[in-house]
């Protein structure tokens, strides 16, 4: 996983293009997929700069996931929840608002949800993401990690993003991370050597490979912020 703080000036999009291009070249990813992802990151960064405000600078996040299929996730965070992206520009001759349309054409999928910053201590805002296919051997769903290490990493990441009172406990071959949601609700994440599982308060149960730890963290942050926003 990579996370970068982007500049709050006109260089925002070009810096996002450069950072992502370098990262994808280092990973040896296909040039066609790289070009599409870099263009999408540029459009997302441009939109974020428009709405980031003074609370926190935009951020570029990159990680891989295997669920629902192997994909590279390109996300741009901004600190504004008053404005949300749409793919319906009003005037077909007006370039304003076309960025999400470009992302929609390039990516497998895209979306937006409430989130918290990674680089600036958990400032509340939103994440706008785009997913691109990864047809090669990376990420490998068989990737494993000691449950204790994964649990500590998950707890530290959530705490750094302002999700407080998160606790972890450890047994033989399994670790448990408990995240309070407020109003006497909590979510438990069970971590074993090859996978993690959790059930959300709405009753949906999820089981994912350990390599999806970063994407799972963002899913949990999204759920927590959505829950808090409805109270």
If 0-12 CB within 10 Å is exposed, 13-18 middle and 19+ buried, where does residue 196 land? buried
> Which structure tokens are listed for 141?
């769903």
How far apart (Å, rounded) are the C-alpha atoms in residues 174 and 204? Answer: 21
CATH no., domain 2-133: 3.30.565.10
- Please tell me whether residue 110 adopts helix, strand or coil conformation: strand
Q: How confident is the model at residue 94 (pLDDT cuts 50, 70, 90)?
A: very low
Claim: this prediction has a pTM higher than 0.85: yes
If 0-12 CB within 10 Å is exposed, 13-18 middle and 19+ buried, where does residue 87 land? middle
pLDDT in tens, 164-192: 899 999 999 999 999 987 677 888 999 99
Decide if 206 contacts 197 (C-beta within 8 A). Answer: yes
Question: Which of the two residues, 158 and 27, has the higher pLDDT score?
Answer: 158
Q: How confident is the model at residue 92 (pLDDT cuts 50, 70, 90)?
A: very low
Domain limits of the chain?
Answer: 2-133, 147-229
If you average pLDDT over every residue of the chain, what do you get? 88
For the cut 80, the answer to whether the pLDDT of residue 213 exceeds it is yes
pLDDT in tens, 26-49: 888 877 678 899 999 999 999 898
pLDDT in tens, 113-139: 999 999 998 999 999 999 999 877 788
For the cut 60, the answer to whether the pLDDT of residue 152 exceeds it is yes
Q: In the prediction, which pLDDT does 96 show?
A: 47
- Please tell me whether residue 198 adopts helix, strand or coil conformation: strand
> Which structure tokens are listed for 183?
């109003």
């Amino acid at each position: 996983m990579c996370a970068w703080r982007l500049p709050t000036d006109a260089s925002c999009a070009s810096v996002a293009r450069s950072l992502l291009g370098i990262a994808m070249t280092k990973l040896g990813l296909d040039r066609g997929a790289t070009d599409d992802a870099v263009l999408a990151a540029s459009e997302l960064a441009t939109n974020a700069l428009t709405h980031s405000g003074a609370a926190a600078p935009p951020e570029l996040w990159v990680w891989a996931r295997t669920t629902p299929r192997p994909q590279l996730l390109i996300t741009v965070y901004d600190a504004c929840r008053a404005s949300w992206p749409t793919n319906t520009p009003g005037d077909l001759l007006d370039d304003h608002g076309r960025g999400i349309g470009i992302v929609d054409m390039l990516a497998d999928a895209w979306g937006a949800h409430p989130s918290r910053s990674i680089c600036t201590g958990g400032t509340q805002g939103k994440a706008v993401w785009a997913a691109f296919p990864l047809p090669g051997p990376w990420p490998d769903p068989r990737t494993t990690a000691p449950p204790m290490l994964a649990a500590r990493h998950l707890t530290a990441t959530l705490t750094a993003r302002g999700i407080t009172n998160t606790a972890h406990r450890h047994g033989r071959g399994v670790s448990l991370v408990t995240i309070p949601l407020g109003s006497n609700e909590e979510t438990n994440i069970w971590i074993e050597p090859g996978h993690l599982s959790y059930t959300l308060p709405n009753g949906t149960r999820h089981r994912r490979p350990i390599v999806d730890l970063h994407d799972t963290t963002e899913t949990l942050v999204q759920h927590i912020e959505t829950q808090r926003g409805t109270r």
